[in-house]
A = this chain, B = another copy of it.
Amino acid sequence: MKINVVKSVLEASDTMARENRDRLDKAGVTAINIMSAPGSGKTTLLQKTIPVVMRSGRCAVLVGDLQTTRDAERMADLGAPVVQINTGRGCHLSPAEVARGIDYLDLSAIDFLFIENVGNMICPVAFDLGEHLRVVLLSVPEGEDKVAKYPTLFQSADAILLTKMDLAAALNYDVSCIRDDLSRINTRAPLMEVSAQAGTGFQEWLTWLAGQRRV
């Protein structure tokens, strides 16, 4: 008797993620899944990062949003191919969407693939997209309680950027709360304090990133 098995959504998703990673590995691409709440500065980080990466290497971007191509437009003139994925009501990127996005790219021509996920601190965490690394952003105005309130997101991070540091003084922001909470759940990922407005802290990020490039 033949037993038909309907795979769970997450199991099927993980299979697709592995296929994505295989494709990326064969092409020598390092894929980075960038996650945060809406408005934490994911696109701004990429606007700062892409021109520097392009000096010594090549990169491409997949960017997920429910609607609009605004993020892709913000990155369109930086010299790297950008694919906008509109998820409609989807609250996270899926590996199937990433696979379709990769179809638009010449993987042999890039070193880094940045995947800017949908702005959401919860749902994207559960979905492996086939990335090699996860970078999580948290912006100062979101408050000091977010590591404790969204531990699964921060646990899964390989690097964490605390953004909009220029607002820290005005908001009386205490970075030690973040460091304390991280010390309990993730001591592996570096915490880097940056400000796009002030132009500070990006060297540490760019150095970390350069260290993730494959030979």
Contacts and interface: CB of A to CB of B under 8 A. Distances in A.
Interface stretch (A18-26, A96-104, A135-143): A135-143
Interface in A80-136: 89, 91, 118-123, 126
B123 A122 contact: yes
Q: How large is the interface on A (under 10, 10 to 19, 20 to 34, 35 or more residues)?
A: 20 to 34
Contacts of A126: 89
Q: Taking chain A's interface residues, is the majority helix, strand, or loop, or is none over half, making it mixed?
A: loop
A44 to B, nearest CB: 9
B38 A146 contact: yes
Contacts of A171: 197
A37 B119 CA distance: 9
A170 interface: yes
Count of chain copies: 2
Contacts of A122: 66, 89, 91, 118, 120, 123
A175 B1 CA distance: 65
A208 interface: no
A187 interface: no
Interface stretch (A27-35, A47-55, A147-155): A147-155
Interface of A: 37-39, 65-68, 70, 89, 91, 118-123, 126, 139, 141-143, 145-146, 148-152, 164, 166-167, 170-171, 197
